[in-house]
Structure formats: structure tokens, C-alpha cells
Amino acid sequence: MKITDIKCAVLGENPIVRITTDAGIDGYGEVENSKSYLKPHVLFYKPYLLGADPTNVESVMLRIRRLGGFKPWGSAVSAIEMALWDIAGKAAGVPVYKLLGGKVRDKVRVYNGGVRFPMQGSSPADYAENMVKMKAAPEKFTIIKQGVGFHSAMPYEVQNFTFGEVQPSRFHDNRGLLTERGLNHVIACVEAMKSVLGDEVGLALDCGPGWMVPDAIRFAKALESMHIMWLEDLLTGDYTPHVSADVYREVTRSTSTPIHTGEQIYLRHNFKDLIEKHAVNIIGPDPADIGGLAELKWVAEYADLHGILIAPHGIFDGLIGLAGLVQVCATLPANFIAFEYPVARPDWWYTLLEGLPNPIVVDGFIQVWDTPGLGVRFKEDVAKKYLAKEDEGFFD
């Protein structure tokens, strides 16, 4: 079997990768919906892939893996890797999890990152009200993640929140020492959310990046009695092209509150310091950024050897990304906690695919399906209606 073409179309907000073969089997991967600009980057890899056997996934990835980078540039490589596994599974007539070593669980836990309700403001009452809505969601999530600090509107809406200059940006690029008032405000909002969730639903906090070490330690220690699931990306994280393992270790060793990072990190090599130095308690690689499913699996196994937990990121991965997350997380060792549940954006994406369970999430879990490949298929007659004119031949 040989690869005959690599195509990429933007469906809604997600670049979709389609790899075709001379055997008539194709495979699909998906770039996050926050990265519609990556279509040309996906197509950059086409000359490296044509003529290769797509079922030799690792051999194909060796051609392109070193040509990616930290978020967002590893996303194109990651989407191609998922499409290769989709082909390999279809060719073998088995679900991808079989090719990754086999499943160790029949259902995978997800945490709520994607089912969101508009926030009215940034007060403790606003956070409590938002938790009431998320706790009542029909998916019955057992873990909910909420943004606070620099990963929220607090720097813009809370007066004198930080000593730093607040920059307007969609990439969470604010950074600086919090005022006493700012730190107390974040703690009060966490207390308000815990008053709603109690010990029935776990609370994880998406915090930054942007915190300074003294604030990170003060904040983590203030929450020690609240049994918070984790504090995510306090120092580095979203769109940060470095790891800072030594700095994270300083925070992690100062508190019993679990510290988490990793969504932006590309390749196993860049998790090495975090894991070997025990710099964090939990890693959160995103299969759509780390380099794909097998790369995430490798890092999870290595983390497990060092007593470090894993809660994969995935909020923007879309429905094909969701399928990939289910397949790989079914195979992960016991250090797996849950993965972040992505939703379709726009909603009409739910009409484009077959193969997902309905409902997708039941009591906070997704049942692992057994159909070949990633297990989802396009309804091409429906999907074609949403293609831009330049992409009209995507399914041909």
C-alpha cells in the first residue's frame, strides 16, 4: 500500500487532513479549531509522504517528525499521524487501540473542558453560578476544569489584579506578580466553586501561564485543604515554546496541591526534564500537539515509570480528535486520570460524522468502540455542503 495524496480542507474552524492510498483506503486527522491557518503547513509535508506505506506509521513519521515544533507547529504533524493510524486500523480491520497495544479499559473518563456556559463576570458569585450549570450538565462530568488567574478574564475585570501591565491578547500572554487583592480574589473564587461541587465533582484549575513563583506557591498552599485535582500551566503552558522544568519543580516541591502542565509540548524529548526531575505531578499532553497518538502513549508510559500522572489536554481537538483521544486513552496505564472533552465547533459538525456513540458521554465516561481505524466516518454528502469552493475536491 502506498500514499497517493495528502489533502487538507478547513471544515468550519478545523483543518482536516485526508490521506489517500492506492488501495482505496483513506484516513483522517484533525487540527484544533483554534488553528484554521495551518492548512498550508499540513500541505508542506506532502512531498515527504507520497509513495510511503502508511501502515508503517513510525517509518512515515520519521520523515517529518523533526520538522515540527511546539504549539502550534506540531499540530500539522500530529494530525497526519492520526490519519496514518486511521488507515492502518482500517487496513487491518481493527480499532486503533489494538495497534497501540490493546485496551486496558472499556470506558474512558473525561473531564469537562469543552461544555461551557457564558460567565457573567469574574466575581466569586459568578464562578459559583457557572459551577451550578456545569454540575447540572447532562454528561454528569466527575471532573470540571475552570479558568482562573491569567487564564480567565480576571486581569481585565478585577481592579488592581496584578502589578504587571495587562495586555489584550487571545493567547494568554499576561504575566506578572499578583497584588494581595488579586491573589485573595482568585482564592475566594475557588472557594465559591468548591462550595457548589463539594466532594461530588472534582475541580481542576486552568491558571495561566503567567504566574510568578512566589504567587504560585502561595496559591497552591492556600488550596491544600480543598482537594483540588490540579493547578494547570501556572508558569508556562499555552503557546509557550519552552518547559521550565526546574522552575516548576520549585513550586511542586513546595505544596501538596498537584501541579500540572504540558499541553503545548511537542515530542517526548521535551517531556524528559519534567518527568525525570519530577517537576510536576501531572502531565497534560495534547495528542493534536505532541506529535500524535503513539507519542502520547510513549510519554504516558514513561511518566508512569516515574510516578507521574497524566490527564491529556484536548479541548479544541474536534470530533476526529475526540475519536483519537478515546482510542489512545483506552490503552494508557493506571496513571491515566481523564482526558479533556472536546466539543464540535460549530454544532453542525455533529451531523457530519458516523460512528460516535449517542450520547457521547454518559456519567462522565465514554464507552470505547470497536470499529476499525479511529472508528468515525464522514457522511460525505452532508460534509461537502460545508466545504469552501477551493476545497470542493477534498472527498474526491
**DSSP structure string for 221-289:** HHTGGGT-S-EE-SSS-TT-S---HHHHHHHHTT-SS-EEE-TT--SGGGGHHHHHTT--SEE---HHH
pLDDT at 171: 74
98-377 matches 3-93+379-391 in CATH topology: no
The pTM (predicted TM-score) of the whole model is 0.97
Given a contact cutoff of 8 angstroms between Cβ atoms, the answer to whether 246 and 230 are in contact is no
Class of domain 98-377: alpha beta
What span, in angstroms and rounded, lies between the C-alpha atoms of 357 and 314?
Answer: 18
We find that the CATH architecture of domain 3-93+379-391 is 2-Layer Sandwich (3.30)
pLDDT at 164: 87
Residue type, 326: V
- pLDDT tens-digit profile, the chain (396 residues): 999 999 999 999 999 999 999 999 999 999 999 899 999 999 999 999 999 999 999 999 999 999 999 999 999 999 999 999 999 999 999 999 999 999 999 999 999 999 999 999 999 999 999 999 999 999 999 999 999 999 999 999 999 999 988 988 777 678 999 999 999 999 999 999 999 999 999 999 999 999 999 999 999 999 999 999 999 999 999 999 999 999 999 999 999 999 999 999 999 999 999 999 999 999 999 999 999 999 999 999 999 999 999 999 999 999 999 999 999 999 999 999 999 999 999 999 999 999 999 999 999 999 999 999 999 999 999 999 999 999 999 999
pLDDT at 109: 98
* 3-class SS of residue 195: helix
The residue whose grid cell reads 519543580 is: 249
pLDDT at 335: 98
What span, in angstroms and rounded, lies between the C-alpha atoms of 357 and 212?
Answer: 43
State phi, psi for 180 to the nearest 5 degrees: -60, -40
pLDDT at 227: 98
* 3-class SS of residue 204: strand
| Residue ranges of domains in the chain | 3-93+379-391, 98-377
